[in-house]
């Protein structure tokens, strides 16, 4: 089955309530697993920047849903291409709010510290999303190590 990658940006209609986003992410993760989709989402109160990967039919169907979703305005396709391998095979949907990322990632792909995905090229958007997912993965690994760190053996001596 042919796999594709799709990157789009949109204006979020209304304010991005963290609870709404968490609900969207939970549903997306569940549905994406069933459909064999992977990807990543970066968002702030105004914008969504998302990459979707997987079987062509499933990516196309999801993008059609996004285009019809009233929460999205000015949906703009940045990239749509055939792929031989996934970039986000570990993630049913990696995600980060822009304020969770280091400023250096934004500056690496933007002219300023302001998240402006509509001014990104497809290559910039892909680099940004890859760096975002890598940073989130490192953060989660660090948090897991901190939470599950073995107790100090000298503490009981």
pLDDT at 155: 54
Domain spans of the chain, in order of start: 3-148
For 42, half-sphere exposure in the C-beta direction (CA atoms, 13 angstrom radius) is 28
pLDDT at 137: 82
Q: C-alpha dihedral over 77, 79, 84, 89, to 10 degrees?
A: -60
Residue 8: exposure state from Cβ atoms within 10 A (0-12, 13-18, ≥19): buried
pLDDT at 127: 96
Contact 133, 88 (CB under 8 A): yes
As a CATH number, domain 3-148 is 3.30.70.100
pLDDT for 119-146, tens place per residue?
999 999 999 999 999 988 886 777 777 7
pLDDT at 150: 56
Q: Which residues in the chain come in under a pLDDT of 70?
A: 1, 14-18, 139, 150-157
Alpha helices in 50-121 (DSSP H): 56-68, 103-109
Contact 6, 40 (CB under 8 A): no
DSSP structure class, residue 93: S
């Amino acid at each position: 089955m042919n796999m594709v990658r799709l990157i789009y940006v949109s204006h979020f209609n209304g304010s991005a309530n963290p609870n709404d986003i968490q609900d969207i992410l939970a549903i997306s993760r569940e549905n994406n697993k069933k459909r064999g989709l992977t990807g990543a989402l970066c968002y702030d109160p105004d914008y969504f920047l998302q990459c979707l990967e997987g079987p062509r039919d499933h990516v196309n169907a999801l993008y059609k849903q996004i285009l019809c979703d009233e929460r999205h305005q000015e949906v703009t396709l940045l990239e749509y291409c055939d792929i031989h391998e996934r970039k986000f095979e570990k993630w049913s949907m990696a995600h980060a709010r822009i304020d969770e990322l280091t400023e250096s990632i934004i500056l690496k792909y933007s002219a300023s510290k302001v998240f402006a995905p509509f001014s990104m090229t497809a290559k910039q958007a892909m680099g940004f999303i890859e760096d975002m997912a890598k940073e989130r993965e490192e953060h989660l690994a660090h948090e897991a190590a901190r939470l599950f760190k073995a107790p100090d053996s000298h503490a009981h001596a």
